[in-house]
Homo-oligomer: A and B are copies of this chain.
Amino acid sequence: MGELRESLADMATCGLPSALEVMGERWSFLLLRAAFNGLKHFEEFSTELGIARNILSNRLARLVEHGVMTRQPCSDDRRKVEYCLTPKGVDLLPAMLALRQWGERHNQNVNTQLVLVDARDGLPVAPVTIRAADGRDLTWHDLAWKRREDLGKAGVECCEKADLL
């Protein structure tokens, strides 16, 4: 990846800082994981995660503000509020799983009793990897930066397909 280095300006405006603005705070990922596990209510998050109530309130509001979750009062019990993942929030699952898999690969004292499997055949999901357009796994040394205007026709088509996901 050494041929074309990202410039200072490119690094400052790439997608990573904007993602970290939403997910870079201490509890954001753990809240998200709880939401993926079906938690929906303030008390559930509070008791299961042990997060301070004011911080929880603040984080949930920020996730809603950034379009990662929705907040809607329950119709059947109007004391309750339901926090649900938006498509934008669900779309964070690959990033979260990649981080989790990394923690399981490299850190001791990690409980791996539960394995994430494909519901269809019950087989464990594959490790999250970086792939080329044709599906080959790529390592760091296979990667390079390229200016968008230098992509050419085939490259532009790749991007358009990707944006549809």
Contacts and interface: CB of A to CB of B under 8 A. Distances in A.
B138 A118 contact: yes
Interface in A99-121: 99-107, 109-121
Interface residues of A, number: 97
A39 to B, nearest CB: 9
A144 B115 CA distance: 8
Contacts of A130: 93-94, 97, 125-126, 128
Contacts of A122: 144, 146, 151-152, 155
B98 A94 contact: yes
Copies of this chain held together in the complex:
2
A142 interface: yes
A56 to B, nearest CB: 15
A115 B4 CA distance: 11
A24 interface: yes
Contacts of A19: 99-100, 102-103, 107
A128 B159 CA distance: 13
Contacts of A34: 11
A148 B16 contact: no
Nearest to A7: B114
